[in-house]
Structure 1
């Protein structure tokens, strides 16, 4: 009797659409992060798309501070890593902090007293750059405290009161280290040394994750490029953390303009040398799914001693350097191995304000309901049909013919599903870069229906006055529906109403997919950086997660194959001399079925 009452109560909660509303306190998030994002000052100097990259987060006096490349020209502050407020530098330090109205790849670090900031200026005539600091960054109060040599992609690491810099960018720069006096920022004589030499010939690289700079873009299979990679990688974005007296030096490769942008980690017992590249690399990789890329990252601890990585993710629609920010949990196991948890890393993740296990909060069960679902719209531009907003691809989008209020997009979910959250990824179509700043906001309404005719409103953001380009709506209680509709109220910058993707998360009431049983792997004996995988198609799958790693208990790499018809993949990022272990999981709108691990 108790079970029957529970089922009836759950049914009443799910069906009471009129009672549904946005959760008062958001406990989950979804990548890319829903920041307002600045109108990037790209190399063409045209501010035609939102962008941010090369992030750094520091925790200072109980608050998080986020700094990003070519963004708002300031930084952001947060209490919980979910809700952010923009802050701007005081006028007295603009010349030190900014190149015109933005900055690029800064070094940022904090001790007990100050947050320190060093801009990587693009002015090559400068031999030195200013160091500024703030005891009150929440209110934008900064002062100059020294000068250091001009560096490309600098990282400032503070350890036991000593200040160290790491830097290097591109195919002709090594990763270099030096120490400074923490009081004057004068370089300590004799401390400069090279920690990692630059790559001169990509085909001499031991690891295939160096392949693909400006060659591979959004492809997840490298078959067409096997044996043809020629461009040297662009190692960049040094970052250092310390855990249990071990130092972890990261750098990003092969280049920011692709899905394969990743981080590589080297370990050492010393802060200034002896770093060894690890066999479990890349330490951070996000390939496949809605959005890819996980490079030029910052690893940091939150208030509860949890590790996180904030990272660059690639869009590249209106400009090749158009990017977004992602956030992933990080762990160090008992062997000291560092791991960034990116599996289904653009699905909802929990963000508990307490100590947690990263395995418990990532890909925790709200599955995607919207992939390739039939869609329709009030109007469409040629080449920008409604199907483009349901294809799980950040590099395609639907656009209506106008930005008028009342333009709408409808998705037929194909059956009744449970909806826990919705991510609305707005696109920029025919925006006016010169439109007043006051016009830069999204306003909309969200509806659900059982039949596509009778609609119930579940979200009203018609009064919203801020930009929410990757709006993520967590519902206070789930709702069941077969259709979902978004209706435009206002589009930013006089643009047209457009969506990269409308993504719906919850539970599809399906059986989990079948088990992948017939996995075979063929390691290329002539070039061990490649391996060919084939597997059997399984019933009920929406796609596959190709997992692999250097130990059977450490399958830290994952490539998401969205197409349920695809049953083969060429992996090109392996390391010569390392034996790998593989597993292919199947997933659908109701869960994941783990495969069986096989070894080479």
Structure 2
């Protein structure tokens, strides 16, 4: 009897703990500033940032990224508070205010420095960065580094700088004097691309473009179990295949060895695509995360957002991140949920992929179904930003709804840089069972926050078939939506096991392009899409590719010389189907 009571108590506790646990959804919802560079907005003004870095410092998470005229802090990785601050001095005549910044700490002091090719930028320091309380640690940083990262080795109390952004030169590392923070000795080349061997390092939207050499950038160092993990981005920030790889060494300046399981951060498919030029950090409970750049690249190649992915090291010290279903609702740090693998995913599925849409008006070719096609590059726009413009999404059946993500697009916006004030996104979200009688689900008609990727986790799930997003007011521009994404569970069947999954690849020692593989499979009738997993060991299929609406995928990201293993699963609004058998490609 006592055992039954204890089991019941444990069950109730974990149910309560799970109910209290919060979630997030990529791209993360922060008040991204607008591109401040005039020659980057000739095709339309737009929000933009990239090259993010997060660190946990004095019980807060701090987030810096490119050209935001400030930074954010958070206590939970869900709600972020912006601190306005321009780090660029008037004498620095460059258009980048703080490009690809380094963010790190030494003991009780947070350090920040931006990219520069000169030698007159300062290193800034603060012991209380929750407010604009920064001083110069170094007045003129002689390294003159682009895409810098200052790394403090706690074990040795030594400081190093890693940097570089080029399609001609490698990444470099140099030791810094512990007292002056200026370089000691000559920089050492530490990582260079080898795209002849590594398919994922090739230039192009899908590693398929050869008119330009690929870029490497975004050096970032993490130390784990006495080893140094030097991370780098490739092949270009404007591509869906933008990814991070890693080299490993026993010494901070190498020599470094390519980790077999690369890229370790990769997301070429889905809504929030791209997972390159990022940073790895630990949360308050010691679990690892990887923050990186997500791609839009519509109004300018450098139109980008931020994504956060669960990450870690396996029993063999292999570094990885989990991007499968990484733009669906994901659990934030918690003691009641495992952090790795699919256990970080809530299991809430996308309910309205390519489902019917009704709208109040349509501007030109910005068609209604672009709001539900799972492509952040396309969007629907109403003709105006007037109160009463609306979008209705039909789930096809009464479904259980757990969360909603509203992704606004930039159409005819007027801002550049960071506005001092904003009216915020004001809207009302309704539900209906029949499309005629409507109930208010979320009322943000008085909202004053800027929420370009607003994510709302419902405290209690609701059931409905239709949802109506009604505009009240926009901060700027027309009422435009790149993704109204409804998450929960439908009432039908999950897909079955995918049949006839075949990876087609050139055989070893024969003519053919072994960096490429063509996946083919039998269409699963109940599937909305598929996730393909890949890796160089059957028990380490850390890479993933999300594919919607097709039964083939041409993947150009393999390492030429090695064997690979693959498997696939189908998903729909009701859940995820069984994994297929593992297929080997030698």
TM-score norm. by structure 1 comes to 0.89
CA contact (8 A) 2:197 2:560 kept: yes
Q: Which moved more, 1:287-296 or 1:432-441?
A: 432-441
Within the alignment, does 1:596 sit opposite 2:547 as a pair? no
Q: 1:32 maps to what in 2? A: 27
Change in CA separation of 1:98 and 1:299 when aligned onto 2, cut-off 3 Å: farther
Q: 1:583 maps to what in 2? A: 567
Q: 1:15 maps to what in 2? A: none
Deviations 1:527-583 (A, max 9, x none): 2101122111123111111111100111111111111xx222221110011100110
Structure 2: distance between partners of 1:98 and 1:418 = 54
Q: 1:509 maps to what in 2? A: 491
Structure 2: distance between partners of 1:361 and 1:256 = 29
Q: 1:51 aligns with which of 48, 62, 74?
A: 48
Q: 1:208 maps to what in 2? A: 199
**Deviation of residue 106 (structure 1)?**
1.3
Change in CA separation of 1:597 and 1:90 when aligned onto 2, cut-off 3 Å: closer
Within the alignment, does 1:441 sit opposite 2:438 as a pair? no
Q: 1:279 aligns with which of 236, 243, 260?
A: 260
Within the alignment, does 1:156 sit opposite 2:150 as a pair? yes
**Deviation of residue 189 (structure 1)?**
2.7
Structure 1: distance between partners of 2:40 and 2:559 = 39
CA contact (8 A) 2:292 2:307 kept: yes
CA contact (8 A) 1:384 1:398 kept: yes
Runs of 4+, deviation exceeding 3 Å = 23-26, 93-101, 352-356, 434-440
**Deviation of residue 27 (structure 1)?**
0.3
Note the 1:243-282 alignment, pairs <5 A.
Answer: 243-282=224-263
Q: 1:473 maps to what in 2? A: 456
Structure 1: distance between partners of 2:497 and 2:21 = 35
**Deviation of residue 111 (structure 1)?**
2.1
Change in CA separation of 1:376 and 1:97 when aligned onto 2, cut-off 3 Å: farther
Q: 1:403 aligns with which of 385, 398, 401?
A: 385
Q: 2:467 maps to what in 1? A: 484
Q: 1:569 aligns with which of 553, 560, 576?
A: 553
Q: List runs of 5+ in structure 2 lacking aligned partners.
A: 1-17
Q: 1:547 maps to what in 2? A: 533
Q: 1:521 maps to what in 2? A: 503
Structure 1: distance between partners of 2:78 and 2:283 = 12
Structure 1: distance between partners of 2:430 and 2:92 = 44
Note the 1:183-222 alignment, pairs <5 A.
Answer: 183-189=179-185, 192-197=187-192, 202=195, 205-212=196-203, 215-216=204-205
**Deviation of residue 384 (structure 1)?**
1.1
Q: 1:560 maps to what in 2? A: 546
Q: List runs of 5+ in structure 1 lacking aligned partners.
A: 1-22
Q: CA RMSD in A?
A: 2.1
Q: Which moved more, 1:529-538 or 1:407-416?
A: 529-538
Within the alignment, does 1:132 sit opposite 2:124 as a pair? yes
Within the alignment, does 1:530 sit opposite 2:516 as a pair? yes
Structure 1: distance between partners of 2:59 and 2:92 = 24
SS in 2 for 1:44: helix
Change in CA separation of 1:540 and 1:560 when aligned onto 2, cut-off 3 Å: same
Structure 2: distance between partners of 1:101 and 1:37 = 16
Within the alignment, does 1:85 sit opposite 2:67 as a pair? no
CA contact (8 A) 1:97 1:119 kept: no
Q: 1:173 maps to what in 2? A: 169
SS in 1 for 2:127: strand
TM-score norm. by structure 2 comes to 0.91
SS in 2 for 1:137: coil
Structure 2: distance between partners of 1:308 and 1:352 = 10
Within the alignment, does 1:60 sit opposite 2:42 as a pair? no
Structure 2: distance between partners of 1:406 and 1:236 = 45
Q: 2:352 maps to what in 1? A: 370
Change in CA separation of 1:165 and 1:95 when aligned onto 2, cut-off 3 Å: farther
**Deviation of residue 148 (structure 1)?**
3.0
Q: 1:14 maps to what in 2? A: none
Q: 2:14 maps to what in 1? A: none
Deviations 1:10-65 (A, max 9, x none): xxxxxxxxxxxxx9977000000000100122461548111111011111111111
Structure 1: distance between partners of 2:412 and 2:392 = 22
Change in CA separation of 1:578 and 1:45 when aligned onto 2, cut-off 3 Å: closer
What number of residue pairs does the alignment pair up? 555
CA contact (8 A) 2:355 2:372 kept: yes
Structure 2: distance between partners of 1:165 and 1:448 = 53
CA contact (8 A) 1:96 1:131 kept: no
**Deviation of residue 76 (structure 1)?**
0.7
Note the 1:319-468 alignment, pairs <5 A.
Answer: 319-354=300-335, 356-359=338-341, 361-433=343-415, 437-468=420-451
Structure 2: distance between partners of 1:166 and 1:75 = 22
Note the 1:89-104 alignment, pairs <5 A.
Answer: 89=85, 94-95=89-90, 102-104=97-99
SS in 1 for 2:51: strand
CA contact (8 A) 1:175 1:198 kept: no
Change in CA separation of 1:111 and 1:169 when aligned onto 2, cut-off 3 Å: same
Q: 1:145 maps to what in 2? A: 137
Structure 2: distance between partners of 1:242 and 1:506 = 38
SS in 1 for 2:183: coil
**Deviation of residue 90 (structure 1)?**
7.6
**Deviation of residue 598 (structure 1)?**
1.4
**Deviation of residue 319 (structure 1)?**
1.5
Structure 1: distance between partners of 2:502 and 2:447 = 52
Structure 2: distance between partners of 1:511 and 1:96 = 63
Deviations 1:361-387 (A, max 9, x none): 433310000100100111111201211
Within the alignment, does 1:310 sit opposite 2:291 as a pair? yes
CA contact (8 A) 1:89 1:142 kept: no
**Deviation of residue 433 (structure 1)?**
2.6
Structure 1: distance between partners of 2:294 and 2:149 = 20
Structure 1: distance between partners of 2:250 and 2:91 = 35
